[in-house]
Chains A and B, each alone.
Chain A
Amino acid sequence: MKIILTTFAFLSLAFAANAQGKVPSVSVQDLANKKIDTGSFSNDGKPYIINFWATWCAPCKRELQAIAEKYEGWQEKTGVKLIAISIDDSRSMARVSPYVNGQDWDFEFYLDPNGDFKRALNVNNIPHTFLVDGNGAIVYQHNNYEPGDENELFKKVLELTSKN
């Protein structure tokens, strides 16, 4: 028991500085319920955003709506893409497709009904957003949503694209 505790303490210290990770490889489903490996997510060398949300999460929907209104402009400027991961489980996963169409949202949608991808990325609660650079490394994350957070996120995207 003690060994495990101390081991973890050491490990976490040793790697606190090395927080930039790759997107883990886990199986999620697209809206046609085809299995997709999250390790294969990419945006042709351009950055992309991974956003965790659910149909029962009000701030998540506010965030996606705020981004949806600016998304065209973001894409024109930077080519960034948003991958929305719904953690709706078997209670509400069937609502995801009609809901996102009813909202007229243009993101890439996947389902994570048993929270496998959420766990792999250590997400505590939603909304939680990750920004992944063109090499597949996670460079920024943000928990929670407040109106205006989307501008901060886009600033980070611009920082990435202006480097190239």
Chain B
Amino acid sequence: MSLVDRLLASFLLVLLLATITTTATAQGGTQIHGNFSTDVQYYNIDSAIGAVVPPQRFGNNAWANFIATHGNFEVGARLESYNPSLAGYPAGQPYQGTGIGYRYAKFTVSDLEITVGNFFEQFGQGLIFRSYEERYLGVDNAIDGVRLKYKPYRGVYLKGIMGQQRAAFDNGFTKGPGIVRGLDAEVSLAELLDSAWTHAGNLIIGGSFVSKYQRDDVSTLVLPENVAAGSFRLNYTTSKLNFYTEYAYKVNDPNNRNGNIYKNGQALMANLTYSVKGFGASVGAHSFDNMFFQSNRAATTPFDLNINYLPPLTKQHTYNLPATLYPYATQPNGEVSGQGEVFWKIKKGSKLGGKYGTKIAVNYSVAFGLDTTRLGLADDTTKIYGYSSKFFTPNLDRMYFQDINIEIRRKLSPTWQLALTYLNFTYDIDVIQGKAGQKVVYADMFVLEGLHNFSEKNSLRFELQHLSTKQDHGNWVTGLAEFTFSPHWFLAVMDQFNYVTTAPTFEKDGKVEAPDRLHYPIASVGYIRSGTRFQVNYGRQRAGIFCVGGVCRQVPAANGLTLSITSTF
């Protein structure tokens, strides 16, 4: 047990005694809250879909968070348990055993906030620093160290952080080898100038500096032990417009991801939105060049110990086929991308709007490789720059991803709603999913979704999805029906059918046989009671990609029974 754990334990004990004696005045005293979440999966053998079956036959992820607050004082901790973790979880280094995954103490003295232990924090949009968690993906790069937040004057915000990042979990969280230090300053002019600021919106400017330290433990290379990165951001808003831009620069950082080259990194993002009641539009562009920034230069996966966060500029789809077959993931080593999107509501009562109004969303996004030129080996072989690049210039011959989609949503009557979606993807599966040598996927998708209310409490929602492509796995059709009985129960059945497969024919007993056309049926039942939710799934789970926020994790094919419980108290 580390010293911090000992101190926290003693503090909690004192807190417990203190709270027991003050329970009578609990209202103004200590508050304890938390949550619990678990997924237990039993794995069946199912060779037809190549289902994973771990030797333990079971997988279990469990988490419990506790937060205790007392005036300006707060302590929190999360207990985690993986016996073993679910197949394919987490995205990066393995999690195993039971222990403390996160703990902190925090207190606030007027405008100064001090956190010791684990914390999540982000500077700007995260181009040079973001520590965050996506529990269902197994992404958690919390810093373990110290954070200070200080507001010296109205509209002026300062932050300082220092510590090591969570790397994996082995009966407690383990830490990466690097140390991360950072400073961030932000000025919000509308707040600073108060009544002297006469515009309706705001102008915010900010800047950050982050540096990581990792000992040079490689004898064959001369590596920078301290790697610095800086960023600048500007955000201008009026009542209708919002413009945001952030630029980041990183000094040379030879690492596993970039092939140990000594090139500097750059990132730029900008976006502009315009919206008024009933209409909204946005355009955005990103460019990244050599921007992997991990607190272990020898990290073995792109999911480990990320110091920064490079958001993908593509729409995150919610329907099963487009969301889990071909989602885009940022290419930090080199990408230029753009997006445009429009939302509007055609007024009710008009010819096109119908009795209840019609909603339309159109989205286009595209990502290209960066325009680069390979450089030969330098004379000094310990300093290789790898390539030269034209910043913010796409290599138009190398399209990684394109997504054109349109969604029309209309309420037909008090009890019927329909939504129709069309999507068209171009997807470089070699680059995005690392499936070397596979052809670029061109896919068309249609989704029809309907919602019918039988009564105030009972309803049926259905989805019919179709995906056609000549590449990868071929054509899919998905049907989903979900019956809900508010406020407690739901029942859902879904089948995904790979009805035109690209798998090769094979010979059996002298006859040519067609490959199986696979079904992936699954049924779910759920029970919800205030902050608690129970869900049981049984069936086949297709291999796919599961994304939350901007990060995706590969989920292997599985067949079995899953029990999920979440509770907030």
Contacts and interface: CB of A to CB of B under 8 A. Distances in A.
Interface of A: 1, 3-5, 7-8, 10-12, 14-16, 18-19, 21-22, 24, 31-35, 55-58, 62, 89-92, 94-95, 97-104, 113-116, 119-125, 128, 140-144, 146-149, 151-152
Interface stretch (B117-125, B162-170, B464-472, B506-514): B117-125
Interface stretch (B51-59, B371-379, B453-461): B453-461
Contacts of B313: 91
Interface stretch (B82-90, B387-395, B427-435, B526-534): B526-534
B531 to A, nearest CB: 5
Given A1-B100, A98-B274, A114-B122, 8 more contacts: A5-B79, A8-B79, A11-B19, A14-B20, A98-B275, A140-B530, A142-B487, A143-B533
Contact of A147 (B278, B459, B530): B459
B111 to A, nearest CB: 12
B280 A115 contact: no
Nearest to B200: A32
A58 B485 CA distance: 18
A143 B532 contact: yes
Interface in B280-297: 280-282, 284
Contacts of B281: 98
A65 B374 CA distance: 52
Contacts of A152: 486-487
A90 B100 CA distance: 28
B311 A89 contact: yes
Q: Give the one of A1, A10, A35, A102 with max B CB within 10 A.
A: A102
Contacts of A113: 122
B77 interface: yes
B343 A99 contact: yes
A8 B75 CA distance: 11
A62 B281 CA distance: 21
B12 A144 contact: no
A57 B317 CA distance: 9
A158 to B, nearest CB: 15
Q: Which of B1, B35, B77, B202 has the most CB of A within 10 A?
A: B35
Contacts of B126: 89-90
Contact of A124 (B35, B99, B345, B484): B35
A153 B15 CA distance: 35
12 contacts: A1-B1, A11-B15, A15-B32, A21-B33, A22-B31, A98-B280, A98-B281, A98-B342, A102-B280, A114-B121, A122-B568, A146-B487
Contact of B33 (A92, A95, A102, A122): A122
Contacts of A57: 318
A62 B463 CA distance: 14
A32 B202 contact: yes
A101 B276 contact: yes
B34 interface: yes
B280 A56 contact: no
B316 A7 contact: no
Contact of A115 (B132, B317, B451): B132
B42 interface: no
B133 to A, nearest CB: 7
Contacts of A140: 530
B568 A95 contact: no
B157 interface: yes
A153 to B, nearest CB: 9
Contacts of B79: 5, 8
B45 to A, nearest CB: 30
Contacts of A31: 237, 242
A114 B280 contact: no
A149 B79 CA distance: 32
A3 to B, nearest CB: 4
Nearest to B188: A34
A89 B458 CA distance: 33
Contacts of B275: 97-98, 100-102
B191 interface: yes
B458 A148 contact: yes
Q: Which of A57, A91, A120 has the most CB of B within 10 A?
A: A91
Nearest first, the 6 closest Cβ-Cβ pairs linking A and B are A102-B343, A98-B280, A148-B486, A146-B484, A101-B275, A91-B311
Interface string B58-85: 0000001111110000000101000000
Contact of B341 (A95, A104, A144): A95
Contacts of B502: none
Nearest to B535: A144
Interface string B103-120: 000000000000000001
B273 A94 contact: yes
A98 B77 contact: no
Contacts of A97: 242, 273, 275, 280
A122 B277 contact: no
B345 A94 contact: no
A109 to B, nearest CB: 11
A4 B12 contact: yes
Contact of B456 (A15, A19, A94, A151): A151
B499 interface: no
A61 to B, nearest CB: 9
Given A34-B190, A114-B120, A14 B8 contact: no
B237 A148 contact: no
Contacts of A98: 273-275, 280-282, 341-343
B271 interface: yes
A149 B528 CA distance: 11
Interface string B314-339: 00111000000000000000000000
Contact of B16 (A10, A55, A125): A10
Nearest to A4: B9
Nearest to A98: B280
A99 B532 CA distance: 29
Contacts of A3: 9, 13
B188 A101 contact: no
